[in-house]
Amino acid sequence: MADVVEQQIRLATRYGARLPPELVQHVLGAVVPAARAATVMAVEGRGVLPGRRPYWVGAMSDIRFRAATAERDELVLMFEAPCLAAAAPHLYAQRDFWREPPEKDATALDLLSQVVADVGADNRDSDSYDGHVLRTLARFGRVFADSADARIALCGRMAHPARTELTARTVDQAHALTGATPPPRALRLVGTLDMIRESIQGFAIRLEDGGELSGIHSGSMAELAPLFGRRVLVHGRLIYRPSGRALRIDAERLEAADDSPNSLWTRLPEPPPGRPLAVTLRRPQTPRTGIAALIGGWPGDETDEEIRERLDVLS
C-alpha cells in the first residue's frame, strides 16, 4: 500500500478550461479545511478537535497540489494525498466493534467525497458529518457565487470511485441541513460504560433500552478505567443529527451511578425545536405587501396641517 496517492478534482464552469485565477483559488482554499474536517469526523466522530491539533491530523491533511491541466471543457487539478494508515498508524493498533476507523488506504479527499455524497443525498442520519463539517463544505459557496452552474467533481477511490459532484445545490443542502439540526442540549444520562477508546478520547454507553451511543470525553481517559462495565451518570451535551436523532455525547465528566432502574436519566431527551433558516422566513415584497403597502396609505382623513398641529401639542 502506497503512503501517498494521486487524486484529481475536476472543475467545470462556464469558463470552460480557461478559468479566472480567483475561481481556482476559491477551490484550493476550500478543499483542505473541508477534507480535514471530514477526516476528523470519520475518525473521532466530530468535525473539529478542541485545543492543540494532534500530529496525525496535520499529517493526514498534508494534501499537496501538483498541477492543473486542461481537458476538454474541464480544468483538472492534480493532488497528492497521504493515506490514513501512513499518517495515523495508531488508529489501527486498538480495534473494537464500536467505531471502526476508515479503510487504511483512504485519504482525506476520499472521506470528503463521502460527505459530499451524503449531503447531496439528504442523508440526515449520516455519521460522516456534523455542524462543523457542514460549515466547511459551505465554503465552496464562493465558487458558485461566481459561476452558479459550476461542478466540482471529487474523484474518490472508495465508496464512490467514479465522480462525486459538488454543486451549488450541495452547498444549499449543507445550509439546509445546518438549519434543520436541533441545537445541542445539556444532558444527564445513565447507562453502562461499554467501551473506552483512548486513542480518540472516545467511549460508548449502553442504554437501558439496549441501544448504544458514542461520546467524546474532555477529561483524562484514565478516570474512566475504574468505571468500565459499570452504570455511570454522564454529564455533558447531547449533539443531534439533522434527523433529530442523537449523534454523540460531548461529555464533561462521568461518575458512578446507583443501580436503581427508576433513574430519571435513563432516557435520551427529546430534541429542542430546530432553528429556522433566515431564508425560510424571508418574503419578497410586492407593490401590495411589506413597506410598500404602507406608503401613501395613511388610514385617517386628517390634513397635513392638522397632523403638524397634533405633533406640536405632543412635543
Residue ranges per domain, the chain? 4-180, 185-256
Over residues 164-173, the pLDDT tens digits come to 999 999 999 9
Interval 180-209 mean pLDDT: 88
The class (CATH top level) of 185-256 is mainly beta
1-10, 19-28, 81-90, 160-169 — which one is most confidently predicted on average?
Answer: 19-28
Q: Are 83 and 2 in contact (CB under 8 A)?
A: yes
Q: Is 84 helix (H, G, I), strand (E, B) or coil?
A: helix
Residues 6+ away with beta carbon under 8 Å from 176: 277
* Rounded distance between C-alpha atoms, residue 114 and residue 108, angstroms: 10
Q: What is the pLDDT of residues 42-94, one digit of tens each?
A: 988 899 887 778 888 889 999 999 999 998 888 999 999 999 888 888 777 76
Q: What is the pLDDT of residues 139-148, one digit of tens each?
A: 999 999 878 8
Q: Answer with the residue of higher pLDDT: 308 or 174.
A: 174
Closest CA to 224 of 203, 249, 252: 203
Higher pLDDT, 201 or 168: 168
Distance in angstroms (rounded) separating the CA atoms of residues 142 and 59: 27
